[in-house]
Amino acid sequence: MAQHLRVGQLMLTQQPLRRMDMVLIFLIATIPRLIGAYWLPNAFGDAYAYTEQIYYLRRAILQGSFSLSSLFGFWLPLYQLICAVISAVVGSPFYVPKLVSAFFGGGVSVLVLLLTWQLTASRSLSLAAAAIAAVNPYHVLYSASAMTDIPHTFFILLCVYCCIRDRFAPAALLALAAGLIRIESWVLIPIIPLAYLLKQSNLNTSRNRIRALLNATLLTVLLCAGPVFWLVVTWRATGTLWKYFEIRNNYIVETLASSPGWHTFRSQE
């Protein structure tokens, strides 16, 4: 009992997280990323393929020829669509995706601050964790590149933050957005409803259990909207629902076939 009291007193003496802390971390993180967006090269060649798709989406928007089929490509389309819409207004389809990624990188650092605060209730630890993310050269390089890694990370971390705060409907919307950026996020479809059910503490009556199951079902339906939407896009663009997965599978097979390590592994079997 005495130990619990000391822990409680220690948490009460911790300084609260301030709004200015978030502003400061955002500025410290975003300014070098914006500079890097202009001066640093893209981290990988894939970024130029993203930029090319953004260019064609922008042109379709400006020419009035945009349709669901325009969204189809090797990558899921939300990041490219956001950048295409912005560049349709302000121009510069080469720099806009780099700048969008840079702002998301600043947001990621703020979310590291908020998540660490939620887990530790320590302002000093939260600021230290956020500062490490803000000035990490590897993170700065990726944030200054026209790639989906950092925007996707932003939506995932914000989804986690909402789950911790028991706000599962916004969390599902954020997971839906992440699932329209990278296919890896589809794994969250069963995880978020299950997390919702595990966090319910009022399942002592049949009415509460039915309500919780209904809410979990609605969350699942919302999360499934992303994959269903992408299947519709694939069907409109190719005439086949599963064409996208065939393209990805062929890419993986070709990549492995060209890898020296894969040939060594196969020869040892």
Give the model confidence (pLDDT) of 95-124 as tens digits.
999 999 999 999 999 999 999 999 999 999
Give residue-wise pLDDT tens across range 207-262: 888 899 999 999 999 999 999 999 999 999 999 989 898 888 887 777 777 666 55
Do 245 and 177 share a structural domain? Answer: no
Q: Is 90 in contact with 96 (CB distance < 8 Å)?
A: yes
> Residue 4: what pLDDT?
46
Domain assignment present for residue 60? The answer is yes
Distance in angstroms (rounded) separating the CA atoms of residues 147 and 169? 27
Q: Comparing C-alpha atoms, which of 174, 46, 156 is closest to residue 108?
A: 156
**Mean pLDDT, to the nearest integer, of 188-215?**
89
Number of domains in the chain: 2
Q: Is 126 in contact with 113 (CB distance < 8 Å)?
A: yes
Specify the pTM: 0.88
Domain's final residue, options 187, 209, 231: 187
Do 172 and 47 share a structural domain? Answer: yes
Distance in angstroms (rounded) separating the CA atoms of residues 16 and 4? 20
Do 256 and 171 share a structural domain? Answer: no
Higher model confidence: residue 15 or residue 188? 188
> Residue 17: what pLDDT?
87
> Residue 152: what pLDDT?
98
Domain assignment present for residue 89? The answer is yes
Domain assignment present for residue 37? The answer is yes
Domain assignment present for residue 161? The answer is yes
Domain's final residue, options 151, 170, 187: 187
Distance in angstroms (rounded) separating the CA atoms of residues 104 and 94? 17
Domain assignment present for residue 228? The answer is no
Do 156 and 258 share a structural domain? Answer: no
Do 245 and 170 share a structural domain? Answer: no
Do 255 and 140 share a structural domain? Answer: no
Give residue-wise pLDDT tens across range 135-187: 999 999 999 999 999 999 999 999 999 999 999 999 999 999 999 999 999 99
pLDDT > 60? residue 130: yes
pLDDT tier, 197 (very low <50, low <70, confident <90, very high otherwise):
very high
Do 102 and 179 share a structural domain? Answer: yes
Do 137 and 51 share a structural domain? Answer: yes
> Residue 145: what pLDDT?
96
> Residue 267: what pLDDT?
54
> Residue 86: what pLDDT?
97
> Residue 12: what pLDDT?
43
Do 151 and 31 share a structural domain? Answer: yes
Considering Cα of 23, then 24, then 28, then 29, what sign does the dihedral take? negative
Q: Comparing C-alpha atoms, which of 187, 222, 241 is closest to residue 72?
A: 241
Distance in angstroms (rounded) separating the CA atoms of residues 251 and 83? 25
pLDDT > 90? residue 71: yes
Domain's final residue, options 172, 187, 202: 187
Domain assignment present for residue 207? The answer is no
**Mean pLDDT, to the nearest integer, of 191-214?**
88
Do 251 and 169 share a structural domain? Answer: no
Do 175 and 67 share a structural domain? Answer: yes
pLDDT > 70? residue 263: no
Q: How many CA atoms lie within 13 A of 30 on its CB side?
A: 14
Q: Is 229 in contact with 180 (CB distance < 8 Å)?
A: yes
Do 179 and 47 share a structural domain? Answer: yes
pLDDT > 70? residue 13: no
Q: Is 145 in contact with 44 (CB distance < 8 Å)?
A: yes
Task: Give the SS3 label for residue 22.
Answer: helix
Domain assignment present for residue 233? The answer is no
**Mean pLDDT, to the nearest integer, of 38-64?**
93
Domain assignment present for residue 62? The answer is yes
Find the domain containing 177 and state its range.
Answer: 17-187
Considering Cα of 132, then 138, then 143, then 144, what sign does the dihedral take? positive
